[in-house]
């Protein structure tokens, strides 16, 4: 019997969306029906989710590519399996949870504090230094991340965040300015690695125009991938590491990692590996 799944995205029509399109393409090659369902195109009723006027039926699996809300959660109930599973997916969206829960002997964590946009710059600077990073707790693609040098810069952030918003303040790892290491991990295995370099921005996200260069996967990287899989249970994740003067620092993990940069840099068919993981799981049931 043909395997069928839902790819949960923001919209059913994503236009040109590299990661989403590649997953659908590789699913078709594997004989898997993978229909894209946009959360913003779904209505959730007492009888369940409706997509463009039609009740959605159960599928063999769902593949999560959207982070927010009850509709996404309910769509997960339509799959016999979900990737990543909903509980760790929802937990590790949050950057504060990541720093609280994740450890490996091959990385350190930057010093950090949790506060709000109304926190005192002087109080935060006394703990982290005069220059520090401000992060929204659920940011992605480099959004809601700022490098703050002064009280006036910190105050200007009130234009971007509601006053009650909790924020993560982190030590600035200056030796990693504009560059980081991205590991792409599938079920605890470091599949591929690349260095991302910006053109002047302290952030090094591919979505913001950073260049990418493949690097060999080392034993340290493999151990980090194994450690984080044990701690999270995430089948698919991107791991971003900063280059400290004395080794790696954890920047964050991504529960919906894009694959355009890593496929371009390494030549690896990441989309096929993700689909193969799902197919092999379902065949073994």
* pLDDT tens for each residue of 158-188: 888 888 899 999 999 999 998 999 999 999 9
The answer to whether residues 60 and 199 belong to one domain is: no
Quick one: pLDDT at residue 163?
87
**Does residue 143 have a pLDDT over 80?**
no
CA distances from 91 to 38, 51, 231 (A): 21, 26, 12
Residue 126 within a domain: yes
Asked if 114 and 168 touch (Cβ cutoff 8 Å), the reply is: yes
Residue 285 within a domain: no
The answer to whether residues 31 and 10 belong to one domain is: yes
Rounded CA gap, 274 and 47, in Å? 32
Q: What mean pLDDT do residues 215-229 have?
A: 98
Q: Which two tokens stand for residue 75?
A: 């769509």
The answer to whether residues 126 and 236 belong to one domain is: no
The answer to whether residues 101 and 189 belong to one domain is: yes
The answer to whether residues 28 and 76 belong to one domain is: yes
Percent pLDDT > 90 in the chain is 87
Rounded CA gap, 61 and 140, in Å? 25
The answer to whether residues 264 and 186 belong to one domain is: yes
The answer to whether residues 184 and 97 belong to one domain is: yes
Quick one: pLDDT at residue 207?
65
Pairing relation of β-strands 4-9 and 33-38?
Answer: parallel
Instruction: Count structural domains, the chain.
Output: 3
The answer to whether residues 101 and 217 belong to one domain is: yes
Quick one: pLDDT at residue 201?
62
Quick one: pLDDT at residue 139?
74
The answer to whether residues 100 and 236 belong to one domain is: yes
**Does residue 1 have a pLDDT over 80?**
no
Per the omega criterion (within 30 degrees of 0), is the bond before 84 cis?
A: yes
Q: Which two tokens stand for residue 60?
A: 């063999």
CATH of the domain at 67: 3.40.50.20
Q: What mean pLDDT do residues 182-200 have?
A: 94
* pLDDT tens for each residue of 17-71: 999 999 999 999 999 999 999 999 999 999 999 999 999 999 999 999 999 999 9
Asked if 33 and 3 touch (Cβ cutoff 8 Å), the reply is: yes
Q: What mean pLDDT do residues 196-200 have?
A: 84
CATH of the domain at 96: 3.30.470.20
- Domain containing residue 49: 4-83
CA distances from 166 to 73, 94, 114, 117, 279 (A): 23, 11, 7, 7, 40
The answer to whether residues 98 and 137 belong to one domain is: no
Residue 282 within a domain: no
């Amino acid at each position: 019997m043909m395997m069928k799944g839902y790819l949960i995205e923001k919209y059913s029509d994503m236009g040109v969306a590299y990661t989403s399109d590649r997953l659908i393409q590789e699913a078709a090659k594997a004989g898997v029906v993978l229909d894209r369902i946009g959360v913003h195109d779904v209505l959730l009723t007492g009888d369940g989710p409706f997509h463009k006027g039609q009740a959605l039926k159960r599928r063999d699996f769902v593949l999560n590519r959207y982070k927010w809300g009850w509709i996404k959660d309910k769509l997960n109930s339509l799959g016999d399996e979900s990737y990543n599973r909903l509980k760790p997916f929802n937990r590790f969206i949050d950057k504060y949870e990541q720093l609280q829960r994740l450890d490996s002997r091959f990385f350190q964590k930057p010093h950090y504090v949790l506060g709000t946009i109304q926190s005192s710059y002087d109080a935060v600077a006394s703990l982290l230094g005069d220059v520090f990073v401000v992060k929204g707790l659920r940011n992605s693609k480099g959004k809601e991340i700022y490098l703050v040098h002064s009280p006036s810069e910190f105050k200007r952030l009130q234009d971007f965040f509601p006053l009650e918003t909790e924020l993560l303040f982190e030590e600035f790892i200056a030796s990693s300015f504009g560059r980081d290491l991205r590991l792409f991990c599938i079920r605890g295995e470091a599949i591929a690695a690349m260095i991302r370099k910006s053109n002047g921005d302290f952030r090094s996200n591919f979505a913001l125009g950073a260049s990418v260069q493949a690097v060999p996967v080392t034993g340290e990287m493999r151990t980090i991938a194994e450690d984080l899989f044990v701690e999270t249970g995430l089948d698919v994740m991107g791991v971003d590491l900063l280059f400290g003067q004395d080794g790696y620092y954890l920047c964050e993990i991504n529960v919906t990692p894009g694959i355009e940069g890593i496929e371009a840099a390494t030549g690896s068919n990441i989309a096929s590996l993700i689909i193969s993981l799902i197919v092999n799981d379902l065949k073994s049931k």
